[in-house]
Chain A
Amino acid sequence: MWRIRIHGRGGQGIKTASQILGSAGFYSGFQAQDFPLYGAERRGAPVIAFTRVSEDPILERGPISSPDIILIGDETLLNDPQSAPLCGAEPSTVVFVNSAQVPEVLSQKFSVTTTNLTDLCFQYLNHRTVYSSALSAVGARLLGNIELECLLRAVEDELIQQGISSQLLQGNLDLAREIFEMIQPVAVSQREEKGLTAKPLVFPSQLPVVDGAPIILDPGNMALRKTGNWRVERPEIDYEKCNNCLICYARCPDGVIGVAPDGRPEIDYDHCKGCLICALECPGHFIHTVKETGTFP
């Protein structure tokens, strides 16, 4: 069995990538399983999805803790403790990062492949950064045992279900083909399933309310959670032209644009999720958007 874990952000097509990869494996004659990690599947928030492909029936269930292949769709996740994409990786694990450069720290420990999928998606998908077909093509190629036509059939099947336009579907198919030809397969060794085990029975005990009920006594402490790494693009105010109309301040859903004592709007980059409403709404278009690049651990 091969276990593939895919990391990315909500809205980047991570769940769909796991579905395409599962279907592609199935069409190639394997047994397959794919599912996302249930929870906060929010646009911009870290998302994890899993695919298992096997010659034999798959009895294993639940999230993959020690994957054979890790596909990372967003390089900014590498040092995100919530996402922890390298968690459970072993020296034999094949790691793929969507990035223009090969991170040195990673290549010392793992067999790392990188490709700049973002630029390819911009080119093929009309400036969208949705990695569903791109990442599944990478996964299929790295596995090495999935045929190109099975992959394309899976892309078509899964994306049509999502109501994609025919023009965009063609772009996805071309993109998948291009990536499939670009990536070199890596020998991924099969690992057998572990035997099924059960946890010992735990008897419930009664706790006092203070221990049992979640009570928070520190108002506004949510600010300790930084959501700044959700951004794909960063808004930047051009202060030479900004006339302090404060429309951006009024329109920011998260309230991360504050007003400085001199009346200027200021963006709190620790928390800005990068929705870019401010950039679109600025009447004079004085807020520019700059693509975020990743920092490696």
Chain B
Amino acid sequence: MKVLTRAHKKIKDLHPHEAIAPGTGLCAGCGGLEGLRLGLKELDDDFLICNAAGCFTLLSVYPFTPLQGSWLYTTMGGPVPAAQGVRDALDIRMRYRGLEEKENLQVIVVAGDGSSNDIGFGATSAAIHRGLDFIYFCYDNEAYGNTGFQLSAASPYGGATQTTPRTDEHEAGTEVNKKDLFEIWKAQKPVYLATVSPREPIDLSNKFARANELKGPRMFICMSPCPTGWGFEPKEAQLIAKLAVDTGIFPIKEYFEGEVVHTVRPRKRLPVEKFLERQKRFRHLFEPHRQEETIRQIQNRVDDYWRQYE
């Protein structure tokens, strides 16, 4: 069965509804907030967000909430178990306690890459295994951003973080590769799995609209350019997101019914330097001397990835 509706074709088709009110304490130019904002436009307001500790802790600061729906704050490892609890409670009450269908909520997990790749990783795997009916939104800014940008399993090779700075012994900064969360999740065959970028609002909206029609584990990884941690001017957030797609560093794809499809393909891939050179976390690759070998390794990794699909 492949009845996949492409609802949106242009910007003006975007849903006019804003599910997130302005006034949050998140950084100006936050790429993850833009992704969540566009995504929630496609869902109706009957949702409950289980929010892992992280940057998005700042979404709701007591006594204020930006959301039209509900928000449950959890520990960094606990958003998915919380989602399971909420889902079960709703199901049991609907079945045995006369809770009406219209009181049902869409359970959404919002977690950063630290929670998704490291601390909450096992619980998420278990939930996909059980087939929990939920949407998972991972805003991936490639480090523990809220505490000052420390290394996470999503930090890319060659980038500097607070715990892996460039030193004479470790010239590249981070010397391990980013965990491929998409492939790991894909191996468990969730109902729907997609990567999204705030720079591609139409693609993002279509993917959320599709996920809204499905049941079961629906996973999203959102590229989230982070002006504070990555070191660029807030106004360039979307430009950086665009370069991540155009250089092929961040492939935009979806997994549905056993098939991976790249929904936005870079026409002609730009060299990775175009993406790297604009960010402070990669500056040591260019100054004081150019680290050819490190840049080549990053480029090779991107090339190897795309060779599988070209």
Q: State the A residues within 8 Å of B (CB).
A: 10-11, 40, 42-45, 163, 165-166, 214, 216, 218-227, 230, 245-247, 249-256, 258-259, 268, 271, 273-277, 279-281
Contacts and interface: CB of A to CB of B under 8 A. Distances in A.
A253 B235 CA distance: 11
A255 B284 CA distance: 35
B65 A273 contact: no
Interface string B159-176: 010000110000000000
B22 interface: yes
Nearest to B41: A255
A190 to B, nearest CB: 34
A227 B65 contact: no
Given A220-B65, A222-B66, A224-B64, A254 B22 contact: yes
Question: Which 5 A-B pairs rank lowest in CB-CB distance, beginning with the nearest?
Answer: A271-B22, A275-B29, A222-B66, A273-B28, A253-B34
B228 A222 contact: no
B67 A219 contact: yes
B16 interface: yes
24 contacts: A11-B227, A40-B25, A40-B58, A42-B25, A44-B234, A163-B284, A216-B64, A219-B67, A220-B66, A222-B22, A222-B66, A251-B198, A252-B34, A253-B31, A254-B24, A255-B18, A255-B37, A256-B22, A258-B18, A268-B22, A271-B22, A275-B237, A276-B234, A281-B239
Nearest to B30: A253
Given A42-B27, A220-B68, A275-B29, 12 more contacts: A11-B228, A163-B284, A214-B62, A223-B21, A223-B23, A227-B23, A249-B14, A251-B34, A253-B33, A276-B234, A280-B235, A280-B236
The main secondary structure of chain A at its interface with chain B is loop
Interface string B207-243: 0000000000000000000011000001111110000
A247 B284 CA distance: 34
B286 to A, nearest CB: 10
A216 B60 contact: yes
B177 to A, nearest CB: 22
B28 A44 contact: yes
Contacts of A249: 11, 14
A273 B20 CA distance: 15
Most B CB within 10 A of own CB, among A40, A220, A274? A220
B97 to A, nearest CB: 20
A122 B201 CA distance: 35
Contact of A166 (B29, B33, B198, B288): B288
B21 A220 contact: yes
Nearest to B62: A214
B81 interface: no
A130 to B, nearest CB: 11
A221 B201 CA distance: 26
B43 interface: no
Interface in B24-52: 24-31, 33-34, 37-38, 45
B253 interface: no
B283 interface: yes
A127 to B, nearest CB: 10
A277 B26 CA distance: 15
B304 interface: no
A284 B190 CA distance: 42
A71 B7 CA distance: 53
Given A10-B228, A216-B62, A246-B12, A280 B283 contact: no
B98 interface: no
Contacts of B201: 250-251
A268 B21 CA distance: 12
A11 to B, nearest CB: 7
Given A43-B228, A253-B31, A165 B16 contact: no
A39 to B, nearest CB: 10
Given A42-B26, A224-B23, A273-B28, A247 B11 contact: yes
B278 interface: no
B266 interface: no
A222 B34 contact: no
Nearest to A220: B21
B34 A219 contact: no
Interface in B276-307: 280, 283-284, 287-288
B234 A275 contact: yes
Contacts of B239: 280-281
A230 B280 CA distance: 23
Contacts of B26: 42, 253-254
Contacts of A275: 28-29, 227, 234-235, 237
Given A40-B58, A246-B11, A220 B28 contact: no
